[in-house]
Amino acid sequence: MFRQVVNLMEVFKAFDADNDGSITAAELRGIMESLGYSTSAQEVKAMMREGDTDRDGLLSLDEFLEMKTKGTEMGDLFTSLQTAFEALDLNGNGIVTGEELYELVTNMGINIPLEECQSIIAFLDADGDD
What are 49-69's pLDDT values in tens digits? Answer: 988 999 999 998 888 877 765
- The third-level CATH classification (topology) of the domain covering 2-75 is Recoverin; domain 1 (1.10.238)
Q: Is 17 exposed, middle or buried (0-12, 13-18, 19+ CB in 10 A)?
A: exposed
pLDDT (tens digit, 9 = 90+) per residue, 82-126?
677 777 788 888 888 889 888 888 887 888 889 988 887 877 776
CA distances from 112 to 59, 69, 90, 91 (A): 26, 34, 18, 21
Q: Whole-number mean pLDDT of the chain?
A: 78
Give the single-character DSSP code of 54. Answer: T
Instruction: Note whether 84 and 105 are within 8 A (CB).
Output: no
Instruction: Note whether 7 and 85 are within 8 A (CB).
Output: yes
Residue type, 109: G
Instruction: Note whether 95 and 60 are within 8 A (CB).
Output: no
Cα-based angle 52, 58, 62 (whole degrees, multiple of 5): 60
Delimit the domains of the chain by residue range.
2-75, 89-130
Per-residue pLDDT band at 81 (split at 50, 70, 90): low
pLDDT score for 70: 59
Q: Is 117 exposed, middle or buried (0-12, 13-18, 19+ CB in 10 A)?
A: buried
pTM of this structure: 0.51
pLDDT (tens digit, 9 = 90+) per residue, 8-53?
777 888 888 788 889 999 888 887 887 778 888 899 999 899 889 9
Q: 106: which residues sit within 8 A by CB, 6+ positions away?
A: 112
Q: Is 74 exposed, middle or buried (0-12, 13-18, 19+ CB in 10 A)?
A: middle
